[in-house]
């Protein structure tokens, strides 16, 4: 919905865009549930803000191939030993910790995953369960 400023709203049909990141399962489910609050990669990003978490199609652990959550990416820095519990993995060479906050499950919808960060268009209200 878009506010008109006079207390009235209308539904926008214009697609919205959000940066997305595909994660293999079970890691995507762990992020969506809030159990995993640090994602690790061998590459860094300057992106900060909303990020759509998408479950990769492989391995085929449901819901494979769907957007599952919206998170706030608040920092990206070299991984340290203290990150291991929240990342659910041991420190490894050249690892970066992507610090995730404000994790919100969404109504899942299918997304064709990609490597790196990518844009996803959507029309519906993400937070309708």
Per-residue pLDDT, 124: 62
pLDDT in tens, 5-31: 445 444 555 678 899 999 999 999 999
Query: What are the residue boundaries of the structural domains of the chain, listed by start?
Result: 16-116
In this prediction, residues 54-71 reach a mean pLDDT of: 94
Per-residue pLDDT, 121: 86
- CATH hierarchy code of domain 16-116: 2.30.130.30
Is residue 125 within 8 Å of residue 27, measured between CB atoms?
no
CA-based nearest residue to 59, from 22, 20, 26, 87: 26
Residue 78 in this model has a pLDDT that exceeds 90: yes
In this prediction, residues 77-85 reach a mean pLDDT of: 98
Enumerate the H helices of 39-114 as residue ranges. 84-87
CA-based nearest residue to 40, from 103, 117, 96, 116: 96
Res. 116 pLDDT band, cuts 50 70 90: confident
Per-residue pLDDT, 14: 64
Per-residue pLDDT, 113: 79
């Amino acid at each position: 919905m878009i506010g008109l400023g006079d207390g009235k709203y209308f539904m926008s049909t214009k697609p919205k865009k959000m940066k997305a990141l595909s994660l293999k399962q079970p890691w995507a489910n762990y992020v969506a549930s809030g159990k995993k609050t640090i994602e690790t990669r061998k590459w860094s990003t300057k992106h900060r803000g909303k990020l759509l978490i998408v479950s990769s199609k492989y391995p085929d652990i449901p819901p494979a191939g769907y957007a599952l959550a919206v998170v706030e990416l608040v920092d990206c820095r070299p991984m340290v030993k203290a990150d291991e519990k929240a990342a659910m993995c041991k420190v490894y060479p050249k690892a970066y910790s992507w610090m995730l906050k404000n994790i919100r499950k969404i109504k899942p919808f299918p997304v064709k995953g990609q490597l790196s960060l990518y844009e996803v268009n959507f029309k519906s209200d993400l937070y309708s369960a």
